[in-house]
């Protein structure tokens, strides 16, 4: 009996030793790199309007998806993902959630988020953030801005070369610097072609109200405008609906619409003239790549314009009567802007003294 008890005791000691050894190995692996992540993950918090707003948020998400595909990542934790904001109250919660989920870089998409980013970035000093369309001066935040005025300028050229009524329109989302740059550039482009063209300007007051965009577009078309450019996010969806409805009723009349941010040709093949491209997708993918490679531009502003392929103009609709003329004129102005021969104004005050012939 004594021998059997001693044998059982030895067995228990050995078993315990084996378990402790296994635990020790597991901890050692975590400390020496066995438990470390070997991938780079990126998360994104959308602005209000949803990830499928056909514009700003969607373009950002497309850039994140492109980064994920290029790096063999999957959607979800440890790869790439997004959280949609239904209101500004969601910003801080969503940002903090992505940080806690372990994403290496967290994007805040939109000029409405700087205070939320600043709050969370100060709390999570070891995490990296990037904000689009705003500037946050913290070492763990990279800021992304665009020369929207250059894209707006090219849209203005296209609109002015297309209008038959010499009457066009601009629908802005809100009275903020980003939209002012689009508006200023657009008006400057129109002025460069024909300063006598009438331009109706109206600010919708929201980026997620398609019905408001449609109502504004209806009024502009009814008053004689035959080309309307929107920089209003999902509100601009209403412009396309109004243009398509009118075109269906009167196929022989022009009801052109110009999109924004991404190529919005899919919003109406008979009515979308072109789009003022703001390549948020390019910027999101580019900064994520830099960060992954150890070149995170924290505390700095990265500016994307024509020269950086950050803005531009989408292809002209083949149904435009003077497509070739528009393309030639746009190309000439692109070269002037890239060379520095022409500086497109950023504000309405600067527009007052803008001379396209200088």
Judge if 108 and 142 occupy the same domain: yes
Residue 32 lies in a domain: no
Judge if 142 and 179 occupy the same domain: no
Residue 61 lies in a domain: yes
Judge if 86 and 176 occupy the same domain: no
% of the chain beyond a pLDDT of 70:
89
User: What is the structure's pLDDT at 358?
Assistant: 66
Judge if 173 and 53 occupy the same domain: no
Which residues have C-beta within 8 Å of that of residue 278, sequence separation ≥ 6?
A: 56, 59, 146, 148, 151, 260, 261, 310, 311
Judge if 207 and 272 occupy the same domain: yes
Judge if 198 and 333 occupy the same domain: yes
Judge if 72 and 213 occupy the same domain: no
What CATH number is attached to the domain comprising 86? 3.40.50.2300
Instruction: Look up residue 314 and give its DSSP letter.
Output: P
User: What is the structure's pLDDT at 200?
Assistant: 98
- Asked which of 37-41, 62-66, 137-141, 152-156 is least confident by mean pLDDT, the reply is 37-41
Given 269, 291, 313, the domain boundary residue is 291
Judge if 200 and 126 occupy the same domain: no
**Over the stretch 67-117, which tens digit does the pLDDT of each residue have?**
999 999 999 999 999 999 999 899 999 999 999 999 999 999 999 999 999
User: 23 pLDDT exceeds 80?
Assistant: no
Using CB atoms within 10 Å of the CB of residue 340, give its burial: 0 to 12 exposed, 13 to 18 middle, 19+ buried: exposed
Q: Given the DSSP bridges, would you call strands 256-261 and 301-304 parallel, antiparallel or unpaired?
A: unpaired
User: 14 pLDDT exceeds 50?
Assistant: no
**Over the stretch 293-314, which tens digit does the pLDDT of each residue have?**
999 999 999 999 999 889 999 9
Residue 9 lies in a domain: no
Judge if 152 and 142 occupy the same domain: no
Domain span at residue 62 reads: 42-146+284-291
**Over the stretch 166-216, which tens digit does the pLDDT of each residue have?**
999 999 999 999 999 999 999 999 999 999 999 999 999 999 899 999 999
**Over the stretch 205-254, which tens digit does the pLDDT of each residue have?**
999 899 999 999 999 999 999 999 999 999 999 999 999 999 999 999 99
User: 6 pLDDT exceeds 90?
Assistant: no
Residue 302 lies in a domain: no
Residue 315 lies in a domain: no
Judge if 211 and 246 occupy the same domain: yes
Instruction: Compute the average pLDDT of residues 266-294.
Output: 96
Q: At what angle do helices 237-249 and 210-222 cross, to 10 degrees?
A: 40
Judge if 261 and 218 occupy the same domain: yes
Residue 223 lies in a domain: yes
User: What is the structure's pLDDT at 56?
Assistant: 84
Judge if 220 and 126 occupy the same domain: no
Instruction: Compute the average pLDDT of residues 26-50.
Output: 64
Residue 71 lies in a domain: yes
Under DSSP, is residue 116 helix (H, G, I), strand (E, B) or coil? helix
Residue 24 lies in a domain: no
Question: What's this model's pTM, rounded to 2 decimal places?
Answer: 0.83
């Amino acid at each position: 009996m004594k021998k059997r008890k001693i044998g059982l005791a030895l067995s228990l000691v050995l078993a315990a030793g084996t378990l402790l050894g296994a635990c020790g190995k597991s901890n050692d692996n975590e400390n020496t790199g066995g438990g470390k992540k070997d991938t780079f993950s990126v998360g994104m918090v959308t602005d209000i309007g949803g990830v499928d707003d056909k514009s700003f948020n969607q373009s950002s998400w497309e850039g994140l998806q492109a980064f994920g595909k290029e790096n063999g990542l999957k959607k979800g934790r440890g790869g790439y993902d997004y959280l949609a904001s239904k209101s500004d109250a969601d910003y801080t919660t969503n940002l903090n959630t992505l940080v806690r989920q372990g994403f290496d870089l967290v994007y805040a998409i939109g000029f409405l988020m700087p205070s939320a980013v600043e709050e969370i970035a100060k709390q999570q000093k070891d995490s990296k953030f990037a904000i689009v369309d705003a500037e946050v001066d913290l070492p763990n935040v990279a800021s992304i801005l665009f020369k929207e005025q250059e894209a707006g300028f090219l849209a203005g050229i296209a609109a002015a070369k297309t209008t038959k009524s010499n009457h066009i329109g601009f629908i802005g989302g809100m009275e903020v610097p980003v939209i002012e740059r689009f508006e200023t550039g657009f008006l400057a482009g129109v002025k460069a072609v024909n300063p006598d063209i009438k331009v109706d300007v109206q600010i919708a007051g929201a980026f997620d109200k398609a019905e408001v965009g449609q109502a504004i577009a209806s009024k502009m078309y009814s008053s004689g405008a035959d080309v309307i450019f929107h920089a209003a996010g999902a509100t601009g969806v209403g412009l396309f609906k109004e243009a398509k409805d009118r075109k269906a009723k009167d196929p022989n009349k022009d009801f052109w619409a110009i999109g924004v941010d991404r190529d919005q040709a899919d919003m109406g093949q008979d009515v979308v003239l072109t789009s003022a491209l703001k390549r948020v997708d390019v910027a999101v993918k580019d900064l994520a790549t830099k960060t992954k490679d150890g070149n995170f531009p924290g505390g700095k502003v990265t500016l994307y314009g024509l020269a950086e392929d950050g803005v531009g103009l989408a292809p002209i609709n083949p149904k435009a009567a003077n497509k070739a003329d528009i393309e030639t004129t746009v190309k000439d102005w692109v070269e002037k802007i890239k060379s520095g021969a022409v500086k497109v104004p950023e504000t309405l005050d600067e527009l007052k003294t803008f001379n396209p012939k200088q």
